């Protein structure tokens, strides 16, 4: 994925983003507009923002702007916008797929076929039905609620959610979801936990050793939100010990993930439980079309001094415009 820097009289597009000699760091000094994706982002630190004297607006071509130091953007009167809602269906579908591949022990089964083997009992001993399970989402916003909607036909025992704000009564009733206000109490009731909240100072490292100790033994955890919400080493330890039966997702604490990242190869005691993939849940071809159009609209509004869609604004001029961060 490339980053695009718009300077006063020219446009630079580059996938060179890491290090002081990268195109990104060279051109950010003069750029007025920065467009980057959340999948392989250009990380805009406070240090770089302070060097970017002409920067007026940062546009995330997708959803999730945690690759930008938002507090620094507020301090320097830099607007931050993203294409809100452009990937919500794509990510929600990926969450359901990830839950199923963990619960049904799919990955080890497929690996067995690739090896030319056929030992059904080795797979079936750790395969379960989703029906009758308690499934909960940390975050019940645009994505989290769609996950709950898609879980209803599986006839779970109960659907739970943990969120700072309760769902409207009609929305909660539609999916028969119950809010649990204490996070430790919430995870202790769930067979499956899925993370669908934004990354910010309050959620970084949220799923750590302490919280994992309150999970049910053998629970499954899915994270398609942001990798840094889950403590990398704590998750690996929990999976290795069997506290977690599986961990799946597409987000990593650093992207691209280093080749030796523990999440690439971690396993549960039975040799499975790993459903990790690159960060692509929100970048299906359908989602790409939506956020390309959305990015174009945001840029055109900026260049023609038209008002932006309120739901797309993360940081306005000198202040946050969203409750999500």
Q: Write down the catalytic residue from 25, 27, 67, 87.
A: 87
Instruction: Say whether 59 sits in a helix, a strand or coil.
Output: strand
**CA–CA distance, 283 with 61 (Å, rounded to integer):** 10
Per the prediction, the chain carries an average pLDDT of: 93
**Strands across the sheet with 134-138, in order?**
177-179, 158-162, 134-138, 192-195, 219-223, 244-249, 274-276
Instruction: Indicate the SS3 state at residue 223.
Output: strand
Distance set, CA 81 to CA 32, 48, 86, 132 (Å)? 14, 18, 13, 41
Global confidence as pTM = 0.86
- Alpha-carbon span 111 to 212, nearest angstrom: 28
* Catalytic-residue membership of 119: no
Percent of the chain residues topping a pLDDT of 70: 93
Q: What is the pLDDT of residues 34-91, one digit of tens each?
A: 999 887 778 899 999 999 999 999 999 999 898 999 999 999 999 999 999 999 999 9
pLDDT in tens, 217-235: 999 999 999 999 999 999 9
Q: What is the pLDDT of residue 284?
A: 96
274 catalytically annotated = no
Q: Where in the chain is the domain with CATH 3.40.50.720?
A: 3-86+284-315, 88-276
With vertex at residue 39, the alpha carbon angle to CA 33 and CA 40, rounded to the nearest 5 degrees, is 70
Q: Is 145 helix (H, G, I), strand (E, B) or coil?
A: helix
Q: Is 223 annotated in the active site?
A: no
Q: Which of 67, 146, 226, 290 is catalytic?
A: 226
Q: Catalytic site residue 279?
A: yes
| Out of 36-45, 93-102, 251-260, least confident range | 36-45
Closest CA to 221 of 297, 153, 137: 137
- The correct CATH number of 88-276 out of 3.40.50.720, 3.20.20.70, 1.10.357.10, 3.50.30.60 is 3.40.50.720
Selected catalytic residue, list 25, 79, 255, 312: 255
* For range 163-177, the mean pLDDT: 98
Q: Which of 67, 94, 279, 290 is catalytic?
A: 279
Show the tokens assigned to 95.
């969450």
Pick the CATH number of 3-86+284-315 from 3.30.10.20, 2.10.109.10, 3.40.50.720, 3.40.50.970: 3.40.50.720
> What are the tens digits of pLDDT across the range 2-39?
555 554 445 565 555 566 667 888 889 999 999 998 87
Query: Which residues is 12 bridged to in the sheet?
Result: 5
Helices 88-103 and 142-151 meet at what angle, rounded to 10?
Answer: 50
């Amino acid at each position: 994925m490339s980053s695009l820097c718009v300077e006063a009289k020219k446009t630079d597009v580059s996938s060179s983003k890491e290090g002081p000699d990268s195109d990104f760091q060279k051109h950010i000094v003069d750029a007025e507009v920065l467009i980057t994706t959340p999948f392989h982002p250009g990380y805009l630190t406070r240090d770089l923002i302070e060097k970017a004297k002409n920067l007026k607006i940062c546009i995330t071509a997708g959803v999730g702007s945690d690759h930008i130091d938002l507090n620094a953007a507020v301090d320097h009167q830099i607007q931050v916008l993203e294409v809100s809602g452009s990937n919500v269906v794509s990510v929600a579908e990926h969450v359901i797929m990830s839950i199923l591949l963990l619960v049904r022990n799919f990955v080890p089964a497929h690996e067995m076929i690739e090896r030319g083997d056929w030992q059904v009992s080795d797979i079936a001993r750790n395969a379960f039905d989703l029906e009758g399970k308690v499934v909960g989402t940390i975050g019940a916003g645009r994505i989290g609620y769609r996950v709950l909607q898609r879980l209803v036909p599986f006839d779970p025992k109960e659907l739970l959610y943990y969120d700072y704000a309760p769902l409207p009564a009609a929305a909660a009733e539609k999916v028969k979801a119950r809010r649990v206000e204490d996070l430790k109490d919430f995870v202790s009731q769930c067979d499956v936990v899925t993370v669908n909240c934004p990354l910010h100072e309050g959620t970084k490292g949220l799923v750590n050793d302490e919280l994992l100790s309150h999970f049910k033994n053998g629970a499954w955890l899915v994270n398609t939100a942001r990798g840094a919400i889950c403590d990398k080493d704590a998750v690996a330890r929990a999976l290795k010990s069997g506290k977690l039966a599986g961990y799946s997702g597409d987000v990593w604490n650093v992207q691209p993930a280093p080749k030796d990242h523990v999440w690439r190869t971690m396993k549960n005691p039975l040799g499975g439980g790993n459903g990790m993939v690159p960060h692509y849940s929100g970048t299906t071809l359908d989602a790409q079309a939506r956020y390309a159009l959305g990015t174009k609209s945001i840029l055109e509004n900026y260049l023609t001094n038209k008002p932006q869609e309120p739901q797309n604004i993360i940081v306005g001029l000198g202040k946050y415009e969203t409750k999500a961060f």
